[in-house]
Amino acid sequence: MLATLVLDSLTCQVTDDLGSDEPIITIDEEEVWRASDVDEGDVRVIDVRRSFVDVAIVKLFDEEVGVNDELGSRVVQADEAGIGPRQAFFTQAADARYVLSYHVE
C-alpha cells in the first residue's frame, strides 16, 4: 500500500547533550531533515513529505563528531493513513526526550 509520511514538527523535551542538540531525522536510512541549536522546550517545524510502501522507519539522531547518537526510532505503517495527527516518542537514549508529530496521507 502506497502512502505519504508527513513529518510536521519535532519537540525537544530534554536534550541529549548538556547544551544544545543537533537533531537529524532519517526515513529508511536517508537523511531528510536536520537542525542545530535545539534546546529544551523548542518546537521545530519540519514539513517533510516522503512517499513509502507499507512501512517507513523513522530514526532520530543527535549529531556528534564521529558517530551520531541514536535517540530512537519509529516504525510508521501505511495503514495509519487518514487517522489524523500522530506522535512518536523518542526516549531510547539515557537522557534525551523528543516528540515527533507526524501524519500519514
Binding site for Ca ion (CB under 5 A): 16-17, 22, 62, 69
Q: How far is the CB of 13 from Ca ion (least distance, A)?
A: 15
Which residue, 16 or 42, has its beta carbon nearer to Ca ion? 16
Which residue, 5 or 60, has its beta carbon nearer to Ca ion? 60
Q: How far is the CB of 68 from Ca ion (least distance, A)?
A: 8
Which residue, 17 or 80, has its beta carbon nearer to Ca ion? 17
- Assess contact for 59 and 73: CB atoms under 8 A: yes
Cα separation, 27 vs 45, in Å, equals: 17
Measured at the CA of 37, the angle between CA 35 and CA 40, to 5 degrees, comes to 105
Q: How far is the CB of 103 from Ca ion (least distance, A)?
A: 28
Which residue, 25 or 104, has its beta carbon nearer to Ca ion? 25
Q: How far is the CB of 102 from Ca ion (least distance, A)?
A: 23
- DSSP annotation string for 36-100: SSB-TT-EEEEEEEEEEESEEEEEEEE--SSSPEEEEEEEEEGGGTTS--EEEEE--SSS-EEEE
